[in-house]
Amino acid sequence: MARYLATRAIYSVLVIFGVAVLVFFLVRLGGDPTALFLPPESSIEEIARFRRQMGFDRPLLIQFGEFVWRALQGDFGKSLRYGEPAMRLVWDRFPATLQLSAVSLLLSVVIAVPLGIAAAVNRDSLTDRVGLFFSLVGQSFPTFWLGIMLILVFSEKLAILPPSGRGTWQQLVLPAVSLAAYSTAIITRLLRSSMLEVMQADYIRTARGKGLSERVVVYRHAVRNAAIPTITVIALQVGALLGGAVITEEIFAYPGMGRLAIQAIANRDFTIVQAFVIFMAVLIVAINLAVDACYVLLDPRLRKS
Amino acid sequence: MGFLRKIVASRLAALGLILTVAVAFMAIFAPWLTPFDPAAQDVTQRLIPPFGRTPEGLHLLGTDALGRDVLSRLIIASRISLLVGVAAVIVSGFFGVMLGLIAGYDDQRAGRVIMAVADVQLAVPFLVLALAVAAVLGPSVFNLVVVLGVTNWVQYARVVRAEALTLREREFVQAALALGASTPRILARHLLPNVMSSVIVISSLQVARMILFEASLSFLGLGVPAQIPTWGSMIADGRNYVSSAWWVAAMPGIAIFLTVVGINLLGDRLRDLLDPKLRHMER
């Protein structure tokens, strides 16, 4: 088991290295990255100076070596706009994004897990139909549109919740709800289908056959076995939530990393974009590793092998 | 026709088919369906509410901040959404299926490399990656298709690889191998036809996702150039007037919703009929 987790950890480091390569070549997709960083009206002297300063005039391989060497020391370059280390800027905004994503995830899980289980246990009942209806609706409209409509109704018309900013819990309600909608829909639907499959398993029939109450069958036998697929689904949603947070933060003027990245794109501040992508990757890889560890704890079969 | 009858045997799927066909019809015949010129501005008739009349006629869904007819723009915008959605699915499907087949057939060497690349890509949330690539490439319809296509091949590759891994051991593949068939021939003639039903199911659900992603990128101004109306950019325009003229932002969202619901309902039915094991897939 320790060996399994160690292998996963080494692989994770390789994946992050892969993301670093991706990010390095990302800004070089269009050729010389100077054009990407500087506004189109820059003079030739400015361009030449900038190219030298950033090392874009050196051979690609040397640039890459430099990039990796610095990245290993946590140096991802300075933001051209703010003059501060790009990774520090991203890191400073991380708590805001973490709070928003965590609240949204909690909201999704609290709604979706009971709904998904209830829908599967009472298949074709009213609960099941309502659950399926909401999960279809929830993943069929764009998150940003929902956000704007929530602002329209709750901030403009009813004037009961603030449309933007961060600090009070009221300011967290609308962004968290609009971000949670999609994940709630997906978790409900996937948990329902996992539970349906588990409910048809032989050990469930055995449990029923030996006269256990339906409660015990569902909660002790079915839910436990549906836990692994559910955790996989929820973990996958963490990535989707962090990605969705980008656009949600933009709508609600919420000061998180996503908004920082979108502003950085508008300002051609690509060192921040690079730092942001790598930070996201480290976060997601770490979560996946934690999930792998959870499997080992939850599934006794994995503990032995 | 037998298969079509099976699809519409479910009332929800029939609804999905109607919605999908209606949107496709709207996109194909868009120039002949718009009640007004979608680009015609008239600042004296700006932000007219739905069912409002102007000297030019009835604006069923109102007008926007420049006095353009919202319904006409909605109809024209359906073209980009569907075009980008379908094209992105073709691109991502092509690469995803090809790489998935190779990864499944040769799981020791090529497979490891391909799946490692997939893991790298999955470590970055899709929207973040698409955002960064779109920002670097700049807004254009072609770039948008490339961005969405290249960032979504993994969904196909994973499913196809898993199927190719088991198909590889089947007798007909072993027989082809014994007869001296080349690897490309085995992949294309013997494995590909057997993964097609999964590919069709994934594609149908992916089109809906691509339409949502296109809207997100266009909303952020990273999709198609600003002068081409899309549902996403219409919502971005309407966002600034949402307190005084809700319909400008609301209507394109409803259009996206109806399109995506229609395709999802149809896709769900295709999955139940063709490949029920894909139920555990995230759309």
Please tell me which of the candidates B128, B215, B282 has its beta carbon nearest to residue A246: B128
Nearest chain B Cα distance for residue A265, angstroms: 6
DSSP state of B43: G
- Tokens 């246990």 map to which residue? A121
Please tell me which of the candidates A14, A136, A149 has its beta carbon nearest to residue B264: A136
**Per the structure, how many domains does chain B have?**
1
> Is B117 an 8 Å CB contact of chain A?
yes
The model's pTM is 0.89
DSSP chain A: -HHHHHHHHHHHHHHHHHHHHHHHHHTTTTS-THHHHS-TT--HHHHHHHHHHHTTTS-HHHHHHHHHHHHHTT---B-TTT-SBHHHHHHHHHHHHHHHHHHHHHHHHHHHHHHHHHHHHTTTSHHHHHHHHHHHHHTTS-HHHHHHHHIIIIIIIS--S-SS-SSSSHHHHHHHHHHHHHHHHHHHHHHHHHHHHHHTSHHHHHHHHTT--HHHIIIIIIHHHHHHHHHHHHHHHHHHHHHHHHHHHHHTT--SHHHHHHHHHHTT-HHHHHHHHHHHHHHHHHHHHHHHHHHHHH-HHHHH-
Q: Give Rg (Cα) of chain B.
A: 22
Nearest chain B Cα distance for residue A37, angstroms: 10
Does residue B275 sit within a domain?
A: yes
Put simply, the answer to whether A242 touches B117 (Cβ < 8 Å) is no
Please tell me which of the candidates A142, A240, A288 has its beta carbon nearest to residue B215: A142
* Tens of pLDDT, residues A170-216: 889 999 999 999 899 988 888 888 888 888 888 888 888 888 888 88
Put simply, the answer to whether B136 touches A233 (Cβ < 8 Å) is no
Look at residues A80, A86, A55, A65 and name the one whose alpha carbon lies nearest to residue A21.
A65
Nearest chain B Cα distance for residue A135, angstroms: 11
Residues 236-275 of B with CB under 8 A from A: 238-239, 242-243, 246, 249-250, 252-253, 256-257, 260-261, 264-265
CA A258 to mean position of chain CA atoms = 11
CA gap A198, A120 in Å, rounded? 10
Burial class (CB within 10 angstroms; exposed 0-12, middle 13-18, buried 19+) of A150: buried
> Is A291 an 8 Å CB contact of chain B?
no
Nearest chain A Cα distance for residue B74, angstroms: 15
- A91: pLDDT strictly greater than 90: yes
**What is the ipTM, given to two decimal places?**
0.86
Put simply, the answer to whether A142 touches B239 (Cβ < 8 Å) is no
- A268: pLDDT strictly greater than 50: yes
Residues 210-229 of B with CB under 8 A from A: 212, 215-216, 219-220, 222
CATH label of the domain that carries residue B189: 1.10.3720.10
> Is B15 an 8 Å CB contact of chain A?
no
> Which residue in A has a C-alpha nearest to residue B262's C-alpha?
A140
> Which residue in A has a C-alpha nearest to residue B242's C-alpha?
A152
Please tell me which of the candidates B265, B280, B283 has its beta carbon nearest to residue A194: B280
- Domain range annotation of chain A: 86-304
Put simply, the answer to whether B136 touches A139 (Cβ < 8 Å) is no
Put simply, the answer to whether A140 touches B261 (Cβ < 8 Å) is yes
- A255: pLDDT strictly greater than 90: yes
> Which residue in B has a C-alpha nearest to residue A134's C-alpha?
B261
Please state which of the ranges A95-109, A156-170, A289-303 shows the lowest mean pLDDT.
Answer: A289-303
Mean pLDDT over all residues of chain A?
Answer: 86
Phi, psi dihedrals of residue B63, rounded to the nearest 5°: -125, 165
* Tens of pLDDT, residues B105-162: 887 888 889 999 998 988 888 888 888 888 888 888 898 898 898 889 998 998 899 8
> Which residue in A has a C-alpha nearest to residue B16's C-alpha?
A136
- Tokens 């908004």 map to which residue? A259
What is the average per-residue pLDDT within B53-81? Answer: 84
> Is B137 an 8 Å CB contact of chain A?
yes
Nearest chain B Cα distance for residue A280, angstroms: 6
Does residue B45 sit within a domain?
A: no
CA B2 to mean position of chain CA atoms = 27
- Please give the share of chain B, as a percent, with pLDDT higher than 70: 98
Nearest chain A Cα distance for residue B216, angstroms: 7
Put simply, the answer to whether B125 touches A36 (Cβ < 8 Å) is no
- If phi > 0 it is left, if psi is from -120 to 50 it is alpha, else beta; for residue A46 that is alpha
DSSP B226-238: TTS--HHHHHHHH
pLDDT for residue B283: 47
Look at residues B81, B224, B217 and name the one whose alpha carbon lies nearest to residue B139.
B224
pLDDT for residue B88: 94
Contact A188, A115 (CB under 8 A): yes
Put simply, the answer to whether B282 touches A284 (Cβ < 8 Å) is no
pLDDT for residue B252: 93
- B282: pLDDT strictly greater than 60: no
Segments forming the whole domain that contains residue B144:
18-24+70-282
Put simply, the answer to whether A265 touches B124 (Cβ < 8 Å) is no
Q: Which two tokens stand for residue A254?
A: 């919420």
What is the average per-residue pLDDT within B274-283? Answer: 66
CA gap B263, B23 in Å, rounded? 10
> Is B171 an 8 Å CB contact of chain A?
no
- Please give the share of chain A, as a percent, with pLDDT higher than 70: 98
What is the average per-residue pLDDT within A140-152? Answer: 91
- Looking at domain A86-304, its CATH class is mainly alpha
Q: Which residues contact A185 (CB under 8 A, 6 or more apart)?
A: A112, A134, A135, A136, A137, A138, A139
Q: How confident is the model at residue B281 (pLDDT cuts 50, 70, 90)?
A: low
- Say how many CB pairs under 8 Å bridge A and B: 141
Q: What is residue B245's three-state secondary structure?
A: coil
* Tens of pLDDT, residues B119-135: 898 888 888 888 888 88
- B1: pLDDT strictly greater than 70: no
Residues of chain A in contact with residue B133, where contact means CB-CB under 8 angstroms, are: 26, 29
CA gap A130, A140 in Å, rounded? 15
- If phi > 0 it is left, if psi is from -120 to 50 it is alpha, else beta; for residue A223 that is alpha
What is the average per-residue pLDDT within A33-54? Answer: 80
> Which residue in A has a C-alpha nearest to residue B115's C-alpha?
A15
pLDDT for residue A33: 77
CA gap A147, A134 in Å, rounded? 17
Look at residues B148, B153, B123, B121 and name the one whose alpha carbon lies nearest to residue B137.
B148
- Tokens 């009213």 map to which residue? A126
Put simply, the answer to whether A140 touches B243 (Cβ < 8 Å) is no
Highest-scoring range by mean pLDDT, A232-241, B35-44, B212-221: B212-221
pLDDT for residue A304: 63
What is the average per-residue pLDDT within B154-174? Answer: 89
Q: Which two tokens stand for residue A25?
A: 């070549």
